[in-house]
Structure 1
Amino acid sequence: MAGKTTAVPTSVSGLQHDTRCLLWWALASRLLLLTLIILWRSLLSSYDTSSALNPPCLSTISAGSSNPCPNPPSVLLPRVGSAIENSIVWDSVHFLRIAECGYEYEHSYAFLPLLPICIRLFSNAVFAPLVPLIGYRAVLGLSGYLISNTAFIFAALYMHRLSIIVLKDPEVALRASILFSLNPASIFYSSIYSESLYALLSFGGLYHFLNGAGYNATFWLALSGFARSNGVLNAGYFCLNAMQRAYKAFSWDKNAFLALKILVSGALSCLCILAPFICFQVYGYFNICAGRSVDEMRPWCKARLPLLYNYIQSHYWGVGFLRYFQVKQFPNFLLASPILSLALQAIIYYMKLWPNVFITLGIQAPLSRKELAGTALALGSKDIPRKSCFSESSSSTLQDDDALRLRRKAIKGETLVMKPLESEALFNLPSIPVVIVPFVVHLSFMVATAFFVMHVQVATRFLSSSPVLYWFASHIMGSPGVGKKWGYFIWSYCVAYILLGSLLFSNFYPFT
């Protein structure tokens, strides 16, 4: 018709608006954290000032030569350089030491190399002209801050994209992503820690995975295992997906060869994700154990399966099953109780909503009429989801007569046994139960590890990379009746931990 303009699709314009909104929140939250770090450092004295000490690298001492990247005798802006150096506390000291000197000590191998490598590259290339102004160590710190905060912003954007794919609800997805931008462990995402890099690689890898880009997903998730040790758990997504697809190929398509091919492909993808972490353990073994006599070897070198990372965690930090269950650690359990409670509530909620799906891990998920109705009511989705790796269709898609027969069974209250990995859910219901299974299983394993094995106060930042927490929190905040009350509680919790964390952490006081 003449004079009629074509409107931009609401979904496209809405996505652009939500992306701009989230970008504002992510930037504002990082500026807030950096401002708080500067403020608390200016107002209060540090509990421990040893982080400012920076002895020469062992390699230069043994070689009798000067540091290849020394601080100039007199930098032009010494106060700026000193302020940056003094802000480097806790594990940030180790990351920067590795970036400058490499892995000098056995306990240094607890910190995986991706972040130090990135810091060294930025310092020696992009920020090299700043060395005469503020000194080399300050440049290392500046590079670390830039990498962590930039990675966080992109992680928030990928969190949003991932949430849209899984939840099929733009409003809930945006709210969940904003919650991530203000998560209670925010101080670690703005400091020189590997949390931001890991979140970016993990969210990005899962986004590509659910979009069917298997090779990209494998690469991203493999790098996540090069940033943090728990990145190896991301191999579970490929493992479960391979099991689901192989079951479908064997049971429904009657194709044993295809099922075997799927399992082999899934195993290779898992091996690729595990490879960086394994290679790093091998690197540590050759550096510490190789070429030494039996008497000179460290105890872990003599083990049948010499795992350096496990030994370091146990020997230097006392990490082990139930080893943290002591009366004196009760305050730390209280500090971690909010995040653990939220995680348990999320796990219980999704498992109760779709019990049969979780019992079978989505491989063969029988849904009763009650569960089907509960899915529609809980999610409120009107659209059929698009294809994803966890709901991949094939030639065995239900025909009209099969769908009609199953509808009649549902009306009679009989149990429906849905074909696994079906892309078009019956009655226009979303395929979120199967999609969300690996996320909830992943979170369950992390909760158990944080509570029974690790130092429990670390749970706040350890669990902060799980998108399930933010999806659940966003869902209950949008629920009628209880949403407003829970919203106040969740936002208060996030703000309180941001203020408390930035105050304690930046001044070298213990915090998660």
Structure 2
Amino acid sequence: MSWLSASRSLDNPVRSLLAIWACWKTLLLAVVVVSPGPGYDTSTQILRLQDGAVEQYVHPSAGWLSTIGQHVALKLTRWDAIYFVRLAQRGYVHEQEWAFSWGFTRLINTIALNFPGGQAESLATHALIAATISHVSHAASVVVLYKLACHVTSQNTRNGVAFITAVLHVLSPAGIFLSAPYAEALFSLFNFSGMLFYVYSIPRPDSTNSRLLRRDINVLISGACFGLASFMRSNGLLSGLLFASDLFQTLPTLPRSLLSASGLRRQMSLALAGILTACGFVAPQWVAYREYCVAQLHGEESRIWCRSLFPSIYSFVQKHYWNVGFLRYWTAPNIPLFLIAYPTLYLMLSTSSQARAGWLVVDRRIPQKSSKTRDADRPETDRYLEKCLRELALPQLVLAITAVTNFHVQIISRIASGYPVWYFGVAAALVAEAQKSHGPQFFVRPKAIVRYLICYAVVQGGLFASFLPPA
């Protein structure tokens, strides 16, 4: 991607981004359609047979476009997507199924109940709805990320960096997972939206009292968006660190701020935003608690996790059935999976560290940050932008560290799609290289990173559709 070609797309950036998104999705779907077969797992075919689909798995009233769409959607129903689609179709039966997003499956089911043509019970219909949600959410998240990048990049590079940032999200290493029946695309949309309203809430140097009121409203909207993100994926809780960080930073002035209406309102809005974020995670846990633990009141034996201080079926299932926990994944057979995850982890850790240190900048006027004096001489706007990036980097940094120590590490390649700072870093490095100016530093040239993203996503798509690891 050249700086010149990106600049030519800036006349109508949103339209250009959607055109790039459409071309990329077409390529990935073509890879899926021509993939050789189901590999070693035939779960999707078995579910189709159980559905009475041996004669005709698409409803007779479906048109040719719907038939093609459902066929492609079933090709996308691989790995965890089988759980999402099946759970949306029939609900949660087994305890271990609660590891898969309750919010996402209920959304699919709600839409399916209103699906025309008498196909509401079809597995193919649920797969098509889920894949459509992923496609639409990914397109919308590209636009939201562009708006976010415009807000947090410096004025002299704003359009170029913002545009390339959004393009990188199109080419995300999550790849086919942003098209398949997974919650990643919807999570990205809500998480980016929450971060957009959060940076709107950070006071600019010229903020007035009326703007401070708008700031607190934006904080609440941000918390609601993060709550929806947590409703789709539990790692959305990490975005609540933004509000916790802001509350911590206000502690030195807490007694004085509580004496003013704006100060008190600020504290309350941050606290409420944090509660809204947590509600997205707690709501499905409460549904499960009522189903599995309230039975104890009727003399039946409850599950062991019901007796925990903070009962969470999600945490229990991850630990009990998937062996998730601190350093549990650090075994010799998993070394290849750490190697697969390394490029994404490196980008996340390096860019978040540079952002936290205030180095994630592209500005030809300032070759480097060499002293506090130089930093003090910088315009207030630049320091404001650095603060935005520094705060947004916190959830990404914690996620990357947690992925190394606690998760099945290979999933970082897809869940990283919903965190913006590493996109900013690579985009800033590309622009800095084109302008021959100072920018974020990596071990390899930024163009090599883009080539890696493209190659990884294409190969991943073929492996995924063929039910082959290590997609």
TM-score normalised by structure 2 residue count: 0.81
Q: Distance in 1 between matches of 2:265 and 2:61?
A: 61
What does 1:498-509 align with in structure 2 at a 5 Å threshold?
498-509=457-468
Task: Indicate if the aligned counterparts of 1:182 and 1:494 stay in contact, CA closer than 8 A.
Answer: yes
Task: Indicate if the aligned counterparts of 1:204 and 1:220 stay in contact, CA closer than 8 A.
Answer: yes
Letter in 2 for 1:511: P
Query: 1:45: how far off?
Result: 4.1
Q: 1:257 to 1:484 in 2, by over 3 A?
A: closer
Q: Distance in 1 between matches of 2:408 and 2:129?
A: 29
Task: Indicate if the aligned counterparts of 2:325 and 2:406 stay in contact, CA closer than 8 A.
Answer: yes
Three-state SS of the structure 2 residue aligned to 1:129 is: coil
Q: How many residue pairs get matched?
A: 427
What does 1:120-199 align with in structure 2 at a 5 Å threshold?
120-125=109-114, 127-129=115-117, 131=119, 136-168=122-154, 169-199=158-188
What does 1:7-406 align with in structure 2 at a 5 Å threshold?
17-40=12-35, 43-54=36-47, 84-125=73-114, 127-129=115-117, 131=119, 136-168=122-154, 169-212=158-201, 213-244=218-249, 247=252, 255=259, 259-292=263-296, 296-353=301-358, 378-380=361-363
Q: 1:260 to 1:436 in 2, by over 3 A?
A: same
Higher relative contact order (CA 8 A, sep 6+): 2
Q: Distance in 1 between matches of 2:467 and 2:170?
A: 23
Task: Indicate if the aligned counterparts of 1:184 and 1:494 stay in contact, CA closer than 8 A.
Answer: yes
Query: 1:260: how far off?
Result: 4.6
Task: Indicate if the aligned counterparts of 1:156 and 1:177 stay in contact, CA closer than 8 A.
Answer: yes
Q: Distance in 1 between matches of 2:127 and 2:430?
A: 38
Task: Indicate if the aligned counterparts of 1:250 and 1:259 stay in contact, CA closer than 8 A.
Answer: no
Q: Distance in 1 between matches of 2:28 and 2:143?
A: 18
Q: Distance in 2 between matches of 1:426 and 1:488?
A: 31
Query: 1:32: how far off?
Result: 1.8
Letter in 2 for 1:273: T
Partner of 1:433: 386
Letter in 1 for 2:14: T
**1:218-240 deviation line (CA, Å, top 9, x unaligned):** 32221111111111222222333
Q: 1:260 to 1:243 in 2, by over 3 A?
A: farther
Task: Indicate if the aligned counterparts of 1:245 and 1:259 stay in contact, CA closer than 8 A.
Answer: no
Q: Distance in 2 between matches of 1:511 and 1:464?
A: 18
Query: 1:261: how far off?
Result: 4.3
Q: 1:47 to 1:294 in 2, by over 3 A?
A: same
Q: 1:247 to 1:316 in 2, by over 3 A?
A: same
TM-score normalised by structure 1 residue count: 0.75
Letter in 2 for 1:238: F
**1:357-416 deviation line (CA, Å, top 9, x unaligned):** xxxxxxxxxxxxxxxxxx8xx43289xxxxxxxxxxxxxxxxxxxxxxxxxxxxxx8769
Deviates more, 1:304-313 or 1:82-91: 82-91
Query: 1:321: how far off?
Result: 0.2
2:445 maps to 1:492: no
Identity %: 24
Of structures 1 and 2, the larger Rg is shown by 1
What does 1:444-463 align with in structure 2 at a 5 Å threshold?
444-463=397-416
**1:36-57 deviation line (CA, Å, top 9, x unaligned):** 11121xx344220023223999
Task: Indicate if the aligned counterparts of 1:120 and 1:140 stay in contact, CA closer than 8 A.
Answer: yes
Letter in 1 for 2:457: I
- The alignment yields a C-alpha RMSD, in angstroms, of 3.4
Q: Distance in 1 between matches of 2:227 and 2:167?
A: 27
Three-state SS of the structure 2 residue aligned to 1:379 is: coil
Three-state SS of the structure 1 residue aligned to 2:295 is: coil
Q: Distance in 2 between matches of 1:437 and 1:122?
A: 39
Query: 1:241: how far off?
Result: 3.1
Task: Indicate if the aligned counterparts of 2:463 and 2:469 stay in contact, CA closer than 8 A.
Answer: yes
Q: Distance in 1 between matches of 2:425 and 2:344?
A: 12
Q: 1:34 to 1:23 in 2, by over 3 A?
A: same
Q: 1:55 to 1:507 in 2, by over 3 A?
A: closer
Query: 1:208: how far off?
Result: 2.3
Letter in 1 for 2:116: A
Q: Distance in 1 between matches of 2:277 and 2:169?
A: 25
